Structures are given as structure tokens and as C-alpha cells.
A and B are shown apart, each in its own frame.
Chain A
Amino acid sequence: MTEAFERRAAEAMKRRKVPVESDIVIPLPDLTAGGKKVDSVDEPKEAPAEAKEDFFAVMPNEVSEAPEGGDFIIDPSADSSAPGVFTYAGHRLRPVNPVEYAKITAITANPKTRREKGPRRLAALLPPAGPADAPSAAGAGEVVQGTNGTIDLGRLGAQAQDNVRNRDRRAGQEPFLPPRERFDRRRFQLVHNSDNTTGGPNAGVPDYYVYLDPDGRPRTNPDGTEQRYTLADVERLLNPRGPGGRGLAGAGPAMPQGPQAPLIAPQRVPAGVIPDFIWRNLSKGRIERNVPLTFEQGPTMDVILPSKKDQEMFGELVRAHGPHELFLRYMAASEHPEAMQASDWAELGHLLEEFGHRKLLLEEVQTNLTKEDVTFMLVHNPAFASIRFNLKPERAMEVMKTSMSYLFMRGSHDEINAMVLSQRANRDIRESDYYIGLNERVHYHTDKTGIKADDLDWNRLDPKLQKQILKPGLLGWMFHGEKTKRSRATLEHIQTNRASMGYLLAGTVSNDPVLISRIVREAQTGERVPQVGERGVGTAADARTERRHINEELNENALLEQVRNPEFRANFRDLDGRTWDNSTPEAREEAFFADSERDLTQRQTLLGWFSNFLSALFSVRLDRAKQRLATEGAFN
């Protein structure tokens, strides 16, 4: 019995590369061979060298085809500070170069699953958020038909290449690249050949479009001749993904058909910018992934107008992303058809398509927002510790769903991506066999040591127990394989280490997000105790300056005054270096709020509930300031 056990133990030790030395004292395993040692809690600790590849990017030569259904995802909220590095649900994928990136066929969950079942596809593969109309620079036109979708590899390659270029540019290795041009549909001007109707000398020459540069003159070729575009050219430039568009039939004014039909057809929203599929809930908690976006009704004006809610939401979309007066022109067109020009119909078609798209994604997110989620947030986020008794989850959920309706309409594609994909990724994690199995194993072990993980709550924990969970040096020992006194184990040490490990593991499966975030933070940064006010405003004078800075930055009246100031406009340059008069309203707004957006990004890197709440508050104020300035037409 003993002999058999010893043999098994020796084999186990061998597998773990643990040499068995003396009778009494056994060195603990070096858990990360080659990892640096951290011998003292007082010494600065290092973050774990590299996040491991829990999800693997699978190349075509490795696996020809994923055997299971579903698609896969690259999180477009990937680390913007490290272009070229992509993540799935927070897991860093191995760095890939643009060519590799364009060829990724699947991403799988973990080595064991991968060995046993092959790569499991997880969600639709999307490029990281980037310019909607980015031309394909790598593998242009190369398209792969996935199990449940089509992947434009050229777009992926182009985006990845841009990421790498931008990284090089920051590193000073490549000159600044001119930004890729976004064509503005309003600048395409139809040149009508009246000789076709009057039988003049140029009869037979078809109508064409020119593109007006900011100075109002048609763009020319290098030889000075006018650049001319056919309708198909215009469609292609505005929508590289090909024409689409839906009918605009409705009870209101109808888009003229026949000879009077506008020559610019309604444009399809460029796909691949926000998800072009939804997840549909089925019975018994099952879910159908990657359901193509189809509109049971509309989106047409006759579907929108009877519904007050839809009207408001569409109005929000138009205010944020379209010409503000489009709605008014549309209403006026009932009696005066000339109120809507061809370009207005095209714009309306584009906005309706966008509306339908956003609404379906909104419905998915709203459906998946459960009372349990909201309760969890209210109960476990210290920001709401004092109000959770006055704010019922049902009420909070109602308020949130209303808020989402408008956020989804006025938000940028990046913001919508972040909302939809974070919820999908979270669901993926919750339902992942790997995570479920791991949690069950942890529960089993902690239960065995008599620790009740569910009872652990950082804010109610005895300070001694807090120290026990985040025992100084414990995580360093785990990740760096310290060879200190502690690593020479006796029976006594084994008992102590087992208890410490039990508490730490119990902390990771507790219901307290604050405790989990503290453990994660310590594992990542080695910082002992997260401090409130990490941004580190030192003195009272600094604090006053900071407050003044924020209030100046977000004071809507002051911002409005500033935008309207002739001197400000005279000195203004947008992000492409154009003057106010030569810029577009969108580019003016983008440049005007660039500093605030940067500030918001910095704030979002802060940790802790306090700063999270402040960050949310800051973004709400920034959002309101943008709305106010847009409503006032400040950038027109």
C-alpha cells in the first residue's frame, strides 16, 4: 500500500519536476520555470510576465475546419495600447502578424478542450473596431465562408496592418500615414446632362457624379481633368461591402419611383462595424448564436411613425448621426414632395437601415439583462451600498432598459460593440465548461478545508482574514516559484500553506467582486492594498485644480460659447489639420472633444468602485455635452 502510494507520489512529483530530496524537508515546486524570484513582500513585485494563451488563434495549416458550429471572435475592445495584440474575453491571444491575423480560422478555449475536441468556435469573427470604409490593403477581396457567416479577410488584414503601422509610427519607425479617406455622401454631386432630354450635342453622355473637395470644387485627376463617378462607383466608395438597402415604402411620403427616382440609392450600413448578427434566446436557457439580422417589420417609416417610442429612438439616432432637420423635411414632404431631395432620401435610407440594425442589437442586450444581473450589481457594488434598499432591482432594470434604448441610438459603433460584445463574452464565460469545471473543483477543495466561499465579503471580513486571503508573498510564491524559507516545507508548513491557498481560492469563487478584483489586482501588479484615489491628486491645491479642470472641460455653456467664438474658429484645426471652414461638422466635433475623450479613456483605466462611478459620471456628462452642442448646431 505504502509502496504503491509512494510510487504514485514519485510519479506525480516527477511530472511536476519536483525533486524528492531529504527525509523531512522537500522543496516546493518551481511553478514557473525561469520565472524571476521575488523574495520579499517589501520588494517591488512584478506582474506575471505574459498573460497565457487561454484562447488560441488557430491557423489554417493547424486545423482545417472547426468541427463544431458557431463562429469565433476577436474582441474589438482589444488593448489599444498594444496594437496587434488581440484578446478574447480578456484573454490575450498570441501576437500575430497581419498575415497570420487575416488567416485565423478559429479560436479555441483551452489546451485540453482543443486536444480532445479541436477548436471550438465561440462567436462571429469581427475585426477590431476601425474605420468603416477602410479599403482592403491585404488580401483584398479574399473572402472565407465561415460556418455561419462570411469573413472578409482583406478587411481584417488591412486593419491588422494598420495597427502594426500605427505602432511602428508611434515608435518612430515609419513616417506618419495619411488617414484613410472617409467619403461623405453629401459631397457627391450629381451632374445632370440636360442634353439627354433636350437632344443637345452631348446627348448620350450619361449623368455622372463628382466629389466636392472641402473648397467646394470638384476633385480632379492628376492631369487636371474632373474625376467622374457612376452611381455604382458612388455606392462602392460609400459602401465597400456592396449595395443593399431596403425599401422605404410607408404611409408617409414615399421615395419617388420611376423616372423621378433618386439616383443615389439608399445605402446599406457597412457591415463588420457593429455585429451583423444577434443571439436569440431559446427555451430552457438555450441560445441560438449568430442569427443573421433580419427585420420582421421595417425598418420603414410606416413602422416607426405609429410608435411613439420608435419615433423618439429614431429621432435620437437622427440627431446624433444624421442631419438634424431630416425629420422635419420628411414630415414636410407629405405636402411638399420637393422638401426631400435625392440625397435626403438616400440619407433616410441609410439611417433607417442603421436604426433597424441597432434596434435588433438593443433587443438582444435588453433581453439578456436579467433581474439577477441587476441585483448582483446593486448588492455587490459598494457605489450602491446605501441606495440598494431604496432602488428595487425591477425599477433599476426598467430605468436601465430605457436608458439603453437611447444610448444604443446615439452611441458610436465602438460603444455599441463594447456593450453587445461584453455581454456576449460574459455569457460565454459563464457557460464555458472550462470555467464551470474549474469553479467546481475550487469549491470542492475549499469545502474540504472548511472554508465557505459564499460567506466571504471583503467589506465585512475581519482584517486578519483579509490578510490571510491576500497573504503577503503568497501570489508571488505561486507565480514566481520563490525559493525562500517558506518554500522548504515541513508538515507544519504544508498545513499553513494549504490553509492560505484554501482562503485565496475561496476568495476567487466568492460572490464578492471587490474581493476578486483585489486578488486579481495583486496577482497582476503585486500591489498590496488598492488605495482609494489612485489617480493621486496630491495636495488640496492640486485637488482644486483638478475639479476646475473637469468643470471647465464639461461645462456645456462654456463649451458652446467657445465653439461659437470667431477667434476659436479662426485658430481651429481638425484632426486632419483642416481649418474650420474646410472641415466637416463630424470632424469638427471629433477634434473638439478629442481631449475629453482621451481624458475619459485615462479615467477608465482607474480601478475601484469609487473611480468607476466617477468614470461613469464623467462619461454621462461628456455625452450630455455632446448632445447639447449637437442640438445647438454648434459644429454646423
Chain B
Amino acid sequence: MEHDALELFHTQLQALYEKGDESAAQKLIAEEFPKLPESVQGDILTRMYFKGLQEQNRQAGVVAEIQEKGLEILDTLDVMEQILKSKKK
């Protein structure tokens, strides 16, 4: 029973994924997820949670690099603006 429900849900979602229909997928999840056995719901939520953590960890370094460079550029822009303004005077 659990296997059939899972297979059907997976098949439907895979089809929407292939069509790239995000909103239909969200609708399907909204309708079908609560009907899944609780253990399956828990497993999906748990895997999504840890996957999210891993993704956040992975992104942290890239984000920090963007921020470091962005702040450096903002500082430089401030300095250049001051120089340009002072030259104009």
C-alpha cells in the first residue's frame, strides 16, 4: 500500500518535473503529501532538512566571498566618489 502510494506520487511529480511545471507540482504536493503515511512524510521532511543544512553549509563560503568582495567594492566606490567630488570643486 505504502509502496503503491509512494510510486504513484513519485511518478506524478516526476512527470511535472519533466514538464517544468512548478506550480502544478506545488499543488500536487499540497494535495498528496498529507495523504502519505506518516513515516514517509517524516522521512521526506527529515531528508529535506538535512539536505537543506548541507546546502546552507556549502553556500556559506561562496556567500562570504561575495560579501567580502562586495564590501571591498563599496568601500572603493566611496573613496572614488569622494575623490571625484573633490576634484570637481
Q: Find B71's partner among A374, A442, A535 (CB 8 Å cutoff).
A: A442
Asked if A352 lies at the interface with its beta carbon under 8 angstroms from chain B, I say no
Q: Find A505's partner among B9, B17, B52, B67 (CB 8 Å cutoff).
A: B67
User: Given the interface contacts A54-B64, A418-B54, does A620 sit within 8 Å of B47 by beta carbon?
Assistant: yes
Judge whether A399 and B42 touch: CB under 8 Å.
yes
Asked if A140 lies at the interface with its beta carbon under 8 angstroms from chain B, I say no
A residues near B70, Cβ cutoff 8 Å: 442, 478, 501, 504-505, 508
The A-contacting residues of B in range 58-74, CB under 8 angstroms, are: 58-74
**Which range holds the interface residue count of chain A?**
35 or more
Judge whether B57 and A422 touch: CB under 8 Å.
yes
B residues near A143, Cβ cutoff 8 Å: none
The B-contacting residues of A in range 438-456, CB under 8 angstroms, are: 438-439, 441-442, 445
Judge whether B38 and A610 touch: CB under 8 Å.
no
User: What is the CA–CA distance of A628 and B11 in the complex, to the nearest angstrom?
Assistant: 20
Asked if A497 lies at the interface with its beta carbon under 8 angstroms from chain B, I say yes
Chain B binder among A59-67, A353-361, A401-409, A572-580? A401-409
The A-contacting residues of B in range 20-48, CB under 8 angstroms, are: 20-22, 25-27, 29-30, 33-34, 38-48
User: Given the interface contacts A508-B67, A547-B15, does A616 sit within 8 Å of B44 by beta carbon?
Assistant: yes
Q: Find A478's partner among B19, B51, B69 (CB 8 Å cutoff).
A: B69
B residues near A505, Cβ cutoff 8 Å: 66-67, 70-71, 74
User: What is the CA–CA distance of A498 and B73 in the complex, to the nearest angstrom?
Assistant: 8
Which of B57, B83, B85 has the most chain A CB atoms closer than 10 A to its own CB? B57
User: Given the interface contacts A90-B58, A369-B49, A373-B49, does A403 sit within 8 Å of B65 by beta carbon?
Assistant: no
A residues near B54, Cβ cutoff 8 Å: 77, 418, 422
B residues near A374, Cβ cutoff 8 Å: 45, 49
| Count of A-B residue pairs with CB < 8 Å | 262
Judge whether A615 and B18 touch: CB under 8 Å.
no
User: What is the CA–CA distance of A6 and B30 in the complex, to the nearest angstrom?
Assistant: 61
The minimal Cβ–Cβ distance linking A301 to chain B, given in whole angstroms, is 26
Judge whether B61 and A616 touch: CB under 8 Å.
no
As a 0/1 sequence over residues 538 to 570 of chain A, the CB contacts with chain B under 8 angstroms (1 = contact) are 000011001100110011110000000000000
Judge whether A520 and B59 touch: CB under 8 Å.
yes
Q: Find B44's partner among A24, A26, A92, A617 (CB 8 Å cutoff).
A: A617
Judge whether B48 and A381 touch: CB under 8 Å.
yes
**Which range holds the interface residue count of chain B?**
35 or more
Asked if A519 lies at the interface with its beta carbon under 8 angstroms from chain B, I say yes
A residues near B17, Cβ cutoff 8 Å: 532-533, 535, 610-611, 614
User: Given the interface contacts A402-B42, A516-B59, does A531 sit within 8 Å of B68 by beta carbon?
Assistant: no
Which of A12, A535, A610 has the most chain B CB atoms closer than 10 A to its own CB? A610
Judge whether A494 and B84 touch: CB under 8 Å.
yes
Judge whether A24 and B84 touch: CB under 8 Å.
yes
User: What is the CA–CA distance of A52 and B65 in the complex, to the nearest angstrom?
Assistant: 8
15 more CB-based (< 8 A) A-B contacts, given A31-B73, A547-B18, A620-B6: A91-B60, A382-B26, A386-B29, A387-B33, A404-B42, A422-B50, A442-B67, A478-B69, A505-B74, A513-B52, A520-B63, A523-B62, A523-B66, A533-B18, A616-B48
Query: What are 12 A-B residue pairs whose CB atoms fall within 8 Å in the complex?
Result: A12-B76, A89-B61, A90-B60, A423-B53, A426-B56, A429-B57, A442-B67, A494-B80, A501-B74, A520-B59, A542-B18, A612-B52
Interface residues of B (CB under 8 A from A): 2-3, 6-7, 9-11, 13-15, 17-22, 25-27, 29-30, 33-34, 38-77, 79-87, 89
A-B CB proximity, top 9 nearest = A403-B42, A386-B30, A90-B58, A543-B18, A616-B47, A399-B42, A532-B20, A533-B20, A422-B53
